[in-house]
Amino acid sequence: MTLLSIGIILYVVLLILVCLRIIYDTKNTTKTVAYLLVAIFIPVFGILLYFTFGINYRKHKLFSEKIANDQAMMKKLKENIMAYTKASLQRNDPALQDNEELANLLLNDIFSPLTSRNQVKLLVNGENKFKEVLTALKEAKHHIHIAYYIYKDDIIGKKIEDILIQKAKEGVQVRFIYDDFGSRSIRKTLVRRLREAGVQAYPFFKVLFILLANRLNYRNHRKIIIIDGQTAFVGGINVSDAYINNEKDQKKLFWRDTHMRIDGPGVYYLQYLFLTDWNFSSEENVQPNEAYFPEPKTEGKGAMVQIASSGPDSTYPTILYSLLAAMALGKKEILITTPYFIPGESMLDAITIAALSGLKIKILVPLKCDIPLVNAAARSYYEDLLNAGVEIYLYQKGFVHAKSVVVDGNLAIVGTANMDFRSFDLNFEVNAIVYDEKFAGEVRDVFYEDLKFAKKIDPEAWRNRHIWVQLGEKVARLFSPIL
């Protein structure tokens, strides 16, 4: 028997063992099939891909302590959460009456409080967001909590850095969480400077080469800033010059994105999320107190806000469930903006059912996303939706990175979660849900403004595309659960 024959036999045995492991270890049937296809049809590399991105044997071990600590902190906040929710429900706001089931879902699942009298501000694109952020940071008196998936050591990154350092010198508590994969470029530069200046900075879920498997999954994709427990920023815009549009620079890619500012008790659950992520990253034990959860300063009327979050430490895929619930409550119109559209069967069914029930469904996605395989997989879903009457628009002005949903003009969702398996299942994500006609109307207006720079897909022309193009997209779709 030759060495080649022995090698082939050993590889086949290894492949069988890996396939058995995939079947045993992967709960999701669709994802199981996808990993089996990768392992079988991409020799050697497919197995390496699974052990790098797919295997989850350490997931419970990695996050079990975090889950226990998070639950202990939640017990201390539960009484206030119920009080805020009860007071908000008593207001009988019309926008809430149409969406009370969604509010109850988030309360029962993750104890996310329904908060009222929030002042909310829509921030369209980086150039508008960062002006607001820089001003708010300068006004911090007690603490600044900041967590980002991507943070760059560029012009805007340095501007925020300068303020954080100045505030630390003034005695303000400054805590900074950066995702160790998304922000890997700042580990030895900006992070070092922050620490030397008195800013506390820690990576989320540090990536170690030896333990690479799994650690490229379970990333903290959240973008959160909390100032003095009163003001918060959340949305899709990372800290990078790439997100700031410059009319004078025609060569620069136009980046269309959405963020928002919250002033009021809607900040509280974001604060809870930050503190739990901080304790996990820093191995400290910071506990809630009046300085982190102060009495809200906002008075009079305001918007109702609730936070949806989920991640590998969640009991249920709350982000996915909240989106499904919101769509199920729709009666007239659902507007979706997302850069990565790989919805999975449950989301695909929800959108299809809504469209067949007579709702007007419009989806805005990029003409081309920055990952070709993801782009091909996303396009494989379009025909089914077009057949159901869904309108799909391809954004052409630049790259649309916004993640937003508007339902019936009285409910708006703005956050960090893409409409794909990674956001629903693997990453730590957060969305702000606003039950308010004024704010939802603003997000709706922006959506229709974006459509001016988008091309509507013609269903007939889409069905008649070259068969090889369609085949390529269908093949890419097989890998969608692992993208």
Residue 337 lies in a domain: yes
**CB 257 within 8 Å of CB 450:** no
Q: Is residue 76 in a domain?
A: yes
Provide the whole-model pTM. 0.88
> Residue 313: inside a domain, yes or no?
no
Task: Kindly state whether residues 345 and 409 are assigned to the same domain.
Answer: yes
Among 39, 54, 69, give the residue marking a domain's end: 54
SS3 assignment, position 286: coil
Q: Does an H or E element contain 175, and which?
A: strand 173-179
pLDDT at 52: 64
What is the pLDDT averaged over residues 453-478?
88
Catalytic residue among 31, 129, 167, 403: 403
Domain for residue 471, yes or no?
yes
CA–CA separation, 229 vs 440, rounded Å?
Answer: 24
Considering the domain architecture, whether residues 298 and 442 belong to the same structural domain is answered as no
On whether both 292 and 329 belong to a single domain, the answer is: no
- Gap between the Cα atoms of 42 and 39, Å rounded: 6
Q: Please indicate, yes or no, whether residues 149 and 41 belong to a single structural domain of this protein.
A: no
258 and 358 co-located in one domain: no
CA-to-CA distance for 73 and 276, rounded, in angstroms?
8
**pLDDT of the residue at 63:** 73
Are both 50 and 72 inside the same structural domain? no
CATH of the domain at 328: 3.30.870.10
Annotated catalytic residue, options 221, 257, 259, 277 = 221
**What is the percent of the chain where pLDDT is above 70?**
93
Domain count, the chain: 3
User: Is residue 408 flagged as an active site residue?
Assistant: yes
Please pick, among 70, 93, 179, 228, the residue that the annotation labels catalytic. Answer: 228
pLDDT of residue 121: 98
The whole-angstrom distance between residue 257's C-alpha and the CA centroid of its chain comes to: 13
Same domain, 50 and 66: no
Do both 304 and 323 map to the same domain?
no
Pick 340 or 91 by higher pLDDT.
340
Burial class (CB in 10 A: 0-12, 13-18, 19+), 418: buried
> Whole domain around residue 178: which residue ranges?
59-106+113-308
pLDDT at 231: 97
Structural domain ending residue among the three candidates 266, 285, 308: 308
In a domain, 9, yes or no: yes
The domain boundary residue, chosen from 308, 326, 361: 308
**Predicted local distance difference test score (pLDDT) of residue 71:** 86
**60 part of the active site:** no
Residues 21 and 40 both lie in one domain: yes
Active site residue 228: yes
Select, from the ranges 7-11, 111-115, 453-457, the one with the highest average predicted confidence (pLDDT). 453-457
Q: Which residue in the list 109, 277, 408, 436 is annotated as catalytic? A: 408
Concerning whether 93 is annotated as a catalytic residue, the answer is: no
Q: Best-predicted range by mean pLDDT among 135-149, 212-226, 452-466? A: 135-149
Query: 239, 152 in Cβ contact below 8 A?
Result: yes
Same domain, 369 and 300: no
Which is catalytic among the residues 223, 259, 362, 420? 223
Whether 379 maps to a domain, the answer reads yes
Q: How far is C-alpha 458 from the geometric centre of its chain's CA atoms?
A: 30
40 in a domain, yes or no? yes
The answer to whether residues 133 and 245 belong to one domain is yes
Catalytic residue (choose from 31, 152, 259, 401): 401
Q: 45 and 156 share a domain?
A: no
Taking the C-alpha atoms of residue 198 and residue 176, their distance in angstroms, rounded to an integer, is 11
Task: Report yes or no on 268 lying in a domain.
Answer: yes
According to the model, what pLDDT value does residue 57 have?
Answer: 45
